[in-house]
Structure formats: structure tokens, C-alpha cells
Homo-oligomer: A and B are copies of this chain.
């Protein structure tokens, strides 16, 4: 299993608009082979910003990489960038992880 995270720093007065942009965004993930699950996460205040993280679980790294090469990926990321005011500070930071241990309830 492979987990792709993107970390976003959001100014407190932009937090509501940032969350709304995710809730109303069209997602293409459900149609992608190897997609398992997506969570959008809200962290705590860190000084001047709130930390958010998107968190997508894939069957394996190959499934994630196929998504990044897909037309749907290009379309959704162009849309996220274009037209709307910028809702986060700087750039999202990408982190990819392989799962090496799993314990379920």
C-alpha cells in the first residue's frame, strides 16, 4: 500500500474558503484503478498558519504514479490553480510513503 500526502499551510482567515474549495471540488479519484481511500485532514495551529493535509491511499506506488500521468490528474490540478484566489501559503509539500506495518482493530 502507498500513501500520498500533500501538506498545506493556510492562514486562519482563509481556512473556511480552503475547506469549502475541497468540499465542492470534483474528484476523479473514484474512477482511478488502484485508488483505495482519500481523507482531507485539518491539523492544529502552528504559529501563523493552520496545517492541512490531503491523504490518499493507493494499492501501490505504481497506481499512484499512473494517476499522476492521467488526464484526470492534469484536469483537476489545472482547475485547482486557475482563476480562484490562492487559498494557501507557499506551495503544498508532497510526501509519499510505503506502508510497512498495519494493525487493525
Contacts and interface: CB of A to CB of B under 8 A. Distances in A.
Interface of A: 1, 3, 19, 22-23, 27, 29-30, 35-44, 51, 53, 55, 95-105
Contacts of A43: 95-97
28 contacts: A3-B41, A3-B55, A22-B100, A23-B100, A23-B101, A27-B103, A29-B103, A30-B103, A35-B105, A36-B104, A37-B102, A38-B102, A38-B103, A38-B104, A39-B102, A40-B99, A40-B102, A41-B97, A41-B98, A41-B99, A41-B100, A42-B97, A42-B98, A43-B95, A43-B97, A44-B96, A51-B95, A53-B97
Number of copies of chain A assembled together: 2
Nearest to A35: B105
A104 B19 CA distance: 18
Of A19, A37, A39, most B-chain CB atoms within 10 Å: A39
